[in-house]
Homo-oligomer: A and B are copies of this chain.
Amino acid sequence: MEKKLPTIKEIARRLNISASTVSRALHDHPSIGLRTKMAVKKLAAELNYEPNQTAIFFKQRKTFTIGLVLPNLREEFFSAAINGIEDVALDHNYIVLIGQSHDDLAREQKLVETMKNHRVDGILASISSSTTHIEHFEQMKNYDIPVVFFDRVPDAKDIHSVSCNLYDSSVEAVEWLIRNGHKRIGYLQGPPTLNMKHERLDGYMEAHKKHKLPVDESLIVSTNLSVEGTRSAVDALLQLKKRPTAILSFNDYVTLDAIQYARQKKLAINKDICFVSYANVPVTQYVEFPPLASVEQFPYDQGVSATELLFRLIDKKVAGQESPYENIVLKSELIIR
């Protein structure tokens, strides 16, 4: 049975006044007689009247909803980011529509499309590893839906973004390894789509340069982030005649797989081979051999910052102003255990 919620009209009918009077009374409009105002409020309370937000959204052409598109929620990095996003959104009386791309471009496109259909007021996105172009996001300009990328930011101009600068920490991480006596340091990078800014690699190079260490190209390998991809990449490093004594790797998840594999290959972790990584996810505290150091990327703060930026864009949009592209860069921090 469809229940019928009381509407402003129903109240008007019962009181023999017009709907607009009811509307104004409810909004404490100054030019409403106290008597009628009281009567309206009283009846509204009795009937448990609540304005139908969807009607209001429809009229105002706003939904008080933001869309969040990200690769997955499994990684603690993203769930931490959501905490920041949700906190800011709730402060603004907004709520979050969520969608996981599972690193699949087609799914990401479908999600963006669906969110557009729902007329979200803005979109936050961290792109999938298979995202080779961002037309689906750029389309949003036609609908006046601002998009802010965070963490996994595409290599494009004319976008808004929030991310951590990994260059400095990368230099620092590699220098730390060098100071600890390592001379052959492998670099296990992620898939090309996620390496577009080369910050990690540039940092790796710079540290070598500063310490006058030659860079051996064969020490640089890639994984698509899958367990198998990581294993074969690590395998390539271990097969080398002169194998590395340390590996800088894309993120903690990859590193855990890498460490597991190295152990299977009977290497003594932190002795035969050391690992330094990115993300600094909390679960690593429970594992036997966590990376010796990891670059904290402050997911919560990125989430907060991205969402705040998005709200600035939304506010400007309703004010009819153009916004210059903003690319906020936060600092990262090397955490040594």
Residue positions of A touching B, CB distance < 8 A: 1-3, 5, 48, 50, 52-55, 57-58, 63-65, 72-74, 76, 79-80, 82-83, 86, 90, 93, 95-100, 110, 114-115, 117-119, 142-144, 256, 260, 283, 286-288, 317, 320, 322
Residues of B within 8 A of A86 (CB): 98-100
CB distance from A268 to the nearest CB of B (A): 15
- Report Cα–Cα, A320/B4, bound state, in Å: 13
**A286 contacts B256, C-beta separation under 8 Å:** yes
Known contacts A65-B118, A79-B73, A118-B64: does B53 contact A320 (CB below 8 Å)? no
Residues of B within 8 A of A142 (CB): 3, 5, 48
- Tally of this chain's copies: 2
- Set B3, B64, B80, B97: member contacting A65, Cβ < 8 A: B97
- Report Cα–Cα, A288/B287, bound state, in Å: 6
Residues of B within 8 A of A65 (CB): 97, 118
Residue of B nearest to A94 (CB): B114
Residue of B nearest to A318 (CB): B2
**B99 contacts A115, C-beta separation under 8 Å:** no
Residue of B nearest to A253 (CB): B286
Residue of B nearest to A113 (CB): B50
**B74 contacts A119, C-beta separation under 8 Å:** no
**B83 contacts A100, C-beta separation under 8 Å:** yes
**A54 contacts B48, C-beta separation under 8 Å:** no
CB distance from A73 to the nearest CB of B (A): 4
CB distance from A37 to the nearest CB of B (A): 24
15 A/B residue pairs, CB under 8 Å, sorted by A: A2-B320, A3-B142, A5-B143, A48-B142, A50-B117, A52-B119, A54-B54, A72-B79, A83-B100, A90-B110, A95-B118, A283-B283, A286-B286, A286-B288, A287-B287
Given contacts A73-B73, A73-B79, 19 further A-B pairs with CB under 8 A are A1-B322, A2-B144, A2-B317, A3-B142, A50-B117, A54-B58, A58-B58, A64-B118, A73-B83, A74-B76, A74-B80, A86-B98, A90-B110, A95-B97, A95-B114, A96-B97, A96-B99, A256-B286, A283-B286
